[in-house]
Amino acid sequence: MSSTLEHLFDRNVAWVDGKTRADPDFFRRMAEQQSPEYLWIGCSDSRVTANDVLGLDPGAVFVHRNIANIVHTSDLNILSVLEFAIEHLKVRHVIVCGHYGCGGVHRAMIEERGAMLDHWLQPLTMLYRKHHQHFHRMARQDERLDRLCEINIEMQVRRLAATPLVENAWRRGQELHLHGWIYGIHDGLLRDLGPHLSSVEERDALPSIDVRVLTEIEPVSGVRRHAFSAFEALLAEASCACNCPSLPTRPECPS
């Protein structure tokens, strides 16, 4: 007799009961037409789920996930999701979010070839091979991996911005913003990497991806943003109190 995974059905019942007790209208709201403001293009990694990471209820985020959050312009799956999100749901923000320590990105760095996964990762693999010497100036393997995870996100935002679906939305004046983020599984924090693109002109003004590989990226988390804001508020208060201009630059803050 095949296993029916009864324990998961039991967990589902417990989840429904808990949700209903905390919010009797939860499932009624979920049954109504979804109107998400965000499309999340993320990695299939089971530890990175969009709604949990963002602290949002189901229905707030339209989600597409695949190995290493790759944007293939020949992939009918992602193109269908993108079309539905832009033209029917009218999302305003598309977030490409990868994560540090990504197993898919690591696969793109190794010599073993031939699996279907390698065909999927080939654009990233070719970029890594092109800049192999640059990556190997980094002392540690985990440092090289995390840097390639960051570059991969920027690469995919650019590929997304080059699709006719996104171009057409911008040309007809539809509000649509693309964002590049990365998630730290080790601490639960999202970090802003960029680029942030809202038009064809902004996309075309970007330096080449080869230049970006050689340029250090400084990811900014919400914790860092709050620290900046608090510091600047203190500077403003001190400036007003002594009637002098605020001069110091932002301090070094934890990521």
The reported pTM is 0.85
> From CA 29, how far away is CA 159, in angstroms rounded?
35
Give the mean model confidence (pLDDT) for residues 77-91.
97
Rounded to the nearest 10 degrees, the angle between the axes of helix 141-161 and helix 164-171 is: 50
43-60, pLDDT tens digit by residue?
A: 999 888 999 999 998 889
- How far is residue 254 from each of residues 221, 225, 231, measured CA to CA in Å? 9, 10, 13
The answer to whether 219 and 191 are in contact (CB under 8 A) is yes
The answer to whether 147 and 212 are in contact (CB under 8 A) is no
Per-residue pLDDT at 205: 97
Give, as one character, the DSSP assignment of residue 251: P
Per-residue pLDDT at 223: 74
pLDDT of 1 above 50: no
Give the mean model confidence (pLDDT) for residues 199-224.
89
pLDDT band at 240 (very low <50, low <70, confident <90, very high): low
90-139, pLDDT tens digit by residue?
A: 999 999 999 999 999 999 999 888 889 999 999 999 999 999 999 999 99
pLDDT band at 4 (very low <50, low <70, confident <90, very high): confident
How far separated are the first and last CA of the chain, in Å rounded?
51
Task: Please state whether beta strands 61-66 and 190-192 pair in parallel, antiparallel, or not at all (unpaired).
Answer: unpaired
Per-residue pLDDT at 134: 95
The answer to whether 112 and 122 are in contact (CB under 8 A) is no
148-206, pLDDT tens digit by residue?
A: 999 999 999 999 999 999 999 999 999 999 999 999 999 999 999 999 999 999 999 99
Q: With pLDDT > 90 as the criterion, what percentage of the chain qualifies?
A: 72
CA 66 to chain centre: 12
Fold held by 7-218: Beta-carbonic Anhydrase; Chain A (3.40.1050)
Per-residue pLDDT at 31: 86
Per-residue pLDDT at 111: 87
Rounded to the nearest 10 degrees, the angle between the axes of helix 116-130 and helix 141-161 is: 100
- Active site amino acids: 43, 45, 47, 99, 102
Q: What is the mean pLDDT of the chain?
A: 89
Tokens of 96: 């490409």
- Kindly write down the DSSP assignment for every residue of 6-28, as one continuous string: HHHHHHHHHHHHHHHHH-TTHHH
Residue range(s) in the chain whose domain bears CATH number 3.40.1050.10: 7-218
Per-residue pLDDT at 218: 81
Coil vs helix vs strand at 39: strand
